[in-house]
């Protein structure tokens, strides 16, 4: 019986250690305070790029937050910024700026995250399928981050 308890304990510890490896706090120091919980931003980075700074998607999205070059250009023009898509901190700032823009027009976290993946002009069908699947992936990662790091923050702050 002791051996069984020891074995189960070892298995649980190993699983928790593995979860910390899969869901690190990598780049958290590059995430500024914003309207969004830093763990939610890390969840997006985890799903989008698995923390690979030079990740490029099959549609040409780049970096940690997988921002399209056209979206980066639009953000820089609209908000009078000069973020460089290929610099990790700037890539994160581009992603957060875009998320805040989307949230300001939707006032809904699920739509904001869905639109981050599909674009705000996607058809309702694409938003319902691909957008919802993406939102669910983000929320699963976010739940694990909150479990591991005991965040008491909300997805959207009360600022």
Angstrom distance (rounded) from CA 87 to CA 76: 14
Q: Determine the length of the chain.
A: 159
Residue 123 φ/ψ region, left for φ over 0, alpha for ψ in the -120 to 50 degree band, beta for the rest: beta
Angstrom distance (rounded) from CA 50 to CA 73: 24
Phi, psi of 73 (to 5 degrees): -65, -45
Q: Could you say which DSSP state residue 156 is in?
A: B
**Among 21, 48, 73, 100, the one annotated catalytic:** 48
In the annotation, is 48 catalytic? yes
Residues belonging to the active site: 48
């Amino acid at each position: 019986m002791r051996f069984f308890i020891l074995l189960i304990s070892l298995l649980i510890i190993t699983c928790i250690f593995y979860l910390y490896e899969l869901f690190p706090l990598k780049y958290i120091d590059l995430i500024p305070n914003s309207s969004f919980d830093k763990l939610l931003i890390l969840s997006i980075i985890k799903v989008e790029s698995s923390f690979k700074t030079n990740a490029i998607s099959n549609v040409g999205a780049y970096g940690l937050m997988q921002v399209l070059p056209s979206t980066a250009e639009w953000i820089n023009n609209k908000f009078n910024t000069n973020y460089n898509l290929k610099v990790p901190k700037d890539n994160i700032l581009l992603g957060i700026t875009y998320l805040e823009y989307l949230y300001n027009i939707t006032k809904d976290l699920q739509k904001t995250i869905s639109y981050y993946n599909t674009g705000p002009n996607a058809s309702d069908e694409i938003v319902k399928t691909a957008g919802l699947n993406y939102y669910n992936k983000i929320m699963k990662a976010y739940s694990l981050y909150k479990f591991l790091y005991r965040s008491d923050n909300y997805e959207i702050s009360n600022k």
